[in-house]
Amino acid sequence: MAEQSGPQRLRYRTLVVLQPTTFCNIDCSYCYLTERGSSNRMSPQVQRAAFERVLSSELVQDPVVFLWHLGEPLSVPPRFYEEAFATAAEVAQQHGRSISHGFQTNATLVNEAWVELIRRHRVKVGVSIDGPAFIHDRVRVDRKGRGTHADVMRGVRLLQQAGIGFGAISVLTDFTMDYPEQYYDFFVEAGIDDIGFNIDEVEGGNTTSSFGPQASTQRYERFLERLLDRAAHHHGAVKIREIWTNLAALAFGGEEPVNNTNMPMRIINIDRRGDVTTFCPELVTSGITMGNVLVDRIDEMLSNPVFQRVSDEIATGVQLCRQTCQYWRFCGGGSPSNKFFEHGRFDVAETRTCQVHKKATVDVLLRHLERRTGLGPGA
């Protein structure tokens, strides 16, 4: 483990991912969650312990964002959050902390009651949607195999009508690659102006990916090239996370890249039982546990043998990326969860996910900029 000189070395704003329930009311084909058919919930005792451990920790700096995720957060009743938010506010006041809450939701269960709660508590919202219905409904289905797009859009419209802003997360599959124009135009027409991509990855319960063959990289590059042209046609009406983050890396290339997923305690994950991990939220499905809020303080994780072993491996993998990969400044060492689920360990460099989602994206963006500015390598 890298040398530490006490908690002050690790002070920063923290994202705390809380699992309100393991259940999800839909059954996406690429989902990494292994217990999404179970209705287990986080108990009030675990909630209070989580808030106490996080908000009393010297490793955590304001403002603290509690993101309710790792299961469908709206599949529990609003009363669950009324009580949880009240407990969080009480504990935050005791410790003089500034906090906020967020939901990452499939939006199918959004109704007027949820809109009222979200507005009153100023909950930040992320919505998962994979594009137009003919793409979305192939993979994001309910428990009977029926498409969920219509229900998602009903929830989206309720949020929009209430003036509640949200960002979208969209998972790309190999099928999506043939429809960049339809894909981009959907978000323009739906009034969704902020999206981020994930690709269908090998992670947790998802043991295969449609991006397995090498040919998928070329398909992704062609998709993204056409998508960038479509974005130019619409004058950038939809902000694409992958484009803006990589443009920022190009503009500020001399700065050290920041990757919160491979830095300890930037993200703290607490599952419904109170088990704690740090680094990627997806590690809740890995079987790795670094403590439990019912018995352990967050600060004690630094001396936990599991944390130390994982942190050592992740640091080795990050250093390997730094030494061997010319894309280092665009990602800062990759995602530990991708490394673990693709290779079974953390002390490795390249993954299939970074070949597609990071390297191919950067290559396409550079070619696009060269083509539009005329500043190619020989210019």
* Segment 175-232, tens digit of pLDDT: 999 999 999 999 999 999 999 989 898 888 888 888 877 778 999 999 999 999 999 9
Which of 3.90.420.10, 3.20.20.10, 3.20.20.70, 3.40.190.10 is the CATH number of 9-301?
3.20.20.70
Tell me what pLDDT residue 13 has: 67
Reported as a pLDDT band with limits 50, 70 and 90, residue 1 is very low
**Per-residue CA distances from 286 to 198, 227, 278 (Å):** 19, 34, 12
Residue 240: exposed, middle, or buried by beta-carbon count in 10 A (0-12, 13-18, 19+)?
buried
Checking DSSP bridges between strand 276-278 and strand 60-68, what pairing results, if any? unpaired
Span 280-305, average pLDDT: 95
Mean pLDDT of 6-26: 75
pLDDT tens-digit profile of 145-190? 999 999 999 999 999 999 999 999 999 999 999 999 999 999 999 9
Q: Are 213 and 356 in contact (CB under 8 A)?
A: no
CA angle, residues 216, 217, 218, in degrees to nearest 5:
90
Q: What is the pLDDT of residue 345?
A: 96
Question: So what's the pLDDT on residue 374?
Answer: 65
Instruction: Count CB atoms within 10 A of the CB of residue 372.
Output: 11
**How far is 251 from 264, CA to CA, in rounded Å?**
27
Q: What is the mean pLDDT of the chain?
A: 91
Q: Residue 71 above 80 pLDDT? A: yes
CA–CA separation, 102 and 239 (whole Å): 20
Buried b (16+ CB within 10 A) or exposed e, 223-238: bbbbbbebbeeeeebb
Is residue 31 predicted with pLDDT exceeding 60?
yes
pLDDT at 50 over 80: yes
75-111 burial by CB neighbour count: b if 16+ within 10 A, else e?
bbeeebbeebbebbeebbeebebebebbbbbbbbbbe
pLDDT over 80 (residue 331): yes
What is the pTM for the complete model shown?
0.92
Q: Report the pLDDT averaged over residues 17-38.
A: 94
